[in-house]
Amino acid sequence: MGNPCFANKNEAKMKKHFSQIKILHTLFIGLLTWGLFGDLTAAKKPNVLLIVCDDLNDYVETLGGHPQVKTPNIKKLIDSGVSFTQAHCNIPICNPSRASFATGIYPHTSQVFGFEDWDKNEILKNSRTMMAHFSANGYHTLGTGKIMHNRDRQEWSEYGHPSDYGPFLFDGKDKIPHLGVPSPFRDDFGIIDGTFGPLEKVSHKKSPATGKPYSWVTGGWKAQRELKYESEEKRDSTGDELNAQWAVKRLKELAAAKKRKPFFMGVGFVRPHTPLIVPQKYFDRFPLDSIELPLIKEGDIDDTFKLTVTSKEDDRSGNRGTKMYDSLVASYKGDRVLALKKFIQAYLASVASVDDLIGEILDVVDGSSLNKNTIIVFTSDHGWGMGEKDYLYKNSLWQESTRIPLVLRAPGLSKVGETCDRPVSLVDLYPTLLDLCDLPSNTMKNDKGRPLDGFSIKPLLKNPTMGKWNGPDSALTSLYKWAQYYDPAKQNYSLRSSEWRYVRYENGKEELYAVTKDPYEWDNLALDPNHEKTLKKYRAKLLARIPQSIPEKPKSNEQWKNDYFKKNPKADTNKDGDLSWPELNAHKKLMNAPKDAEY
């Protein structure tokens, strides 16, 4: 017989050896499984549903923007999550705002303040959009409608319908403003900003211009399609309705799928962006005689300085709002009350139409298993002024343009039905979603990109009143003013804190409002020597947050002309492949004329 002690030692070694093999085998199988089925493991991560409206200000229930607004479905979402009552955009016009929040980068970081293609910008094209980053980290990304202002189809794994600004009235030859809109407003601002009214049957009427029956068309800038309308029960769907239908269908399919990746879905609604044309039933909810006007102080524009940097006569320089206000009032023979009632009725109707569509989407989520694991975000790209300071438009640095609705519901994490009055901004949305979904925070494609500028507001979802947030105490907003080159140090900005709004224009003019006492921003205290200390404080805060001057690199005249040609190939009117200086000057003059398509 062998030595029993020796046998016991060998047995112990063998057990240890087989135990190690078993561990390695388990690790190997685990790694193999992760490699083959990583998407299934990732399905434990939360889904994200991002709903974005266009030009939606605080005309939402609970935000107090208008006492007659009816948004029961948005209110339902607010009651189930956290609503940020002082959320602000980072630039109050479509393209740069969406380029900013989709990449998480301030306009002053990227220098995208206008309508240039965002994906040709050196910084933004080398930084991932939130959709692309989620896709790179195991998510199925699918979107429909207007999330970015342009060129975003390539950012989604799956794409539904493109942006659709219609319906537009068609006279057999041209798209024209709604027949109910009087001149000069309809003539001054055309088929986008110059039109509002109900979607109704028009085929029984003939155009005096063409002799043909009127009809409806709809679509984006490049292509339109007929929108048939005989009655409310017998008509084609609008663009926004198609987007809601697509989202409902895909959400039901995703809820029923047994094995799938987590998803990031974006749904972009155009309303209440102009033209404010929605079915008659939504106008009926807001009888014209009952419409209440916002509180407007007579002469409120007198102590402001926007007109000192943006010519009143030049739309592209940012005073479209002043011109729209003057033109609308003139169209109703100087009756300011009637003019604003007409426009506000159409705006409230448009908001109500979108609220119904949002309700259809929320019903699918709340009525399925998605309810337990889907983060919902509802917001807008910027606000809209309704006659305050004699201004009817977006793109101002006042509360009406900068304030937006922002609601987040994160199951199992966010408080239910609570509000947060801390100033936050859209640039904080991207880092918040990464934090909630536990995704990598590095969103740069390479060293030519930039890290995220915002801060996660996850702590404020957990504790809306006392949560410790690492972000700044003021929301920063810049202004769009058309230019060939944007030096970030020479732009117009505002800071909105809990107690103050400070505005600094490029020419050094300033505005200061004590918003706790003056929520309508009626009294510019920058002109009061008693507030010099506060003025200097906020001036220093702003200048510390924006970069130093970045002068444009000098170019020869020919180089400048060639660059202009690359950006504006249509300027070559004789199509000889060479842009002459007369062609360039003629094109610049044309570009400085009012343009509906950009707004």
> What local confidence, expressed as pLDDT, does residue 8 receive?
41
Q: Which residues contact 465 (CB under 8 A, 6 or more apart)?
A: 418, 420
Indicate the pairing of strand 224-226 with strand 140-145.
unpaired
Question: 3-state class of 407 per DSSP?
Answer: strand
CA distance 77 to 155: 27
- N residues, the chain: 599
CA distance 301 to 388: 8
Domain extent listing, the chain:
55-144+243-262+286-318+369-552, 559-596
> What local confidence, expressed as pLDDT, does residue 152 receive?
83
| pLDDT per residue rounded down to tens, the chain (599 residues) | 344 343 444 444 444 444 454 444 444 434 333 333 333 334 489 999 999 999 999 999 999 999 999 999 999 999 999 999 999 999 999 999 999 999 999 999 999 999 999 999 999 999 999 999 999 999 999 999 999 988 888 899 999 999 999 999 999 999 999 999 999 999 999 999 999 999 999 999 999 999 999 999 999 877 889 999 999 999 999 999 999 999 999 999 999 998 899 999 999 999 999 999 999 999 999 999 999 999 999 999 999 999 999 765 555 556 899 999 999 999 999 999 999 999 999 999 999 999 999 999 999 999 999 999 999 999 999 999 999 999 999 999 999 999 999 999 999 999 999 999 999 999 999 999 999 999 999 999 999 999 999 999 999 999 999 999 999 999 999 999 988 899 999 999 999 999 999 999 999 999 999 999 999 999 999 999 999 999 999 999 999 999 999 998 876 788 778 888 888 999 999 988 889 999 999 998 887 764 444 44
Query: Domain spanning 55-144+243-262+286-318+369-552: which CATH class is it, in words?
Result: alpha beta
Residue with tokens 């987007």: 243
Question: Is the CB of residue 428 less than 8 Å from the CB of residue 457?
Answer: yes
> What local confidence, expressed as pLDDT, does residue 37 receive?
34
> What local confidence, expressed as pLDDT, does residue 589 receive?
82
Cis peptide before 272 (omega within 30 of 0): yes
* Nearest CA among 83, 58, 60, 84 for reference residue 70: 60
pTM here is 0.87
CA distance 48 to 266: 8
CA distance 386 to 106: 26
Q: Which residues contact 541 (CB under 8 A, 6 or more apart)?
A: 474, 495, 502
Residue 7: exposed, middle, or buried by beta-carbon count in 10 A (0-12, 13-18, 19+)? exposed
The H-assigned helical ranges of 367-470 are 399-402, 429-437, 458-462
Please report the sign of the dihedral spanned by the C-alpha atoms of residue 135, residue 140, residue 145, residue 147.
Answer: negative
Tokens representing residue 333 in the block: 């023979």
Tokens representing residue 324 in the block: 């729209």
Q: Which residues contact 458 (CB under 8 A, 6 or more apart)?
A: 410, 413, 432, 435, 436
Q: Which residues contact 523 (CB under 8 A, 6 or more apart)?
A: 303, 513, 514
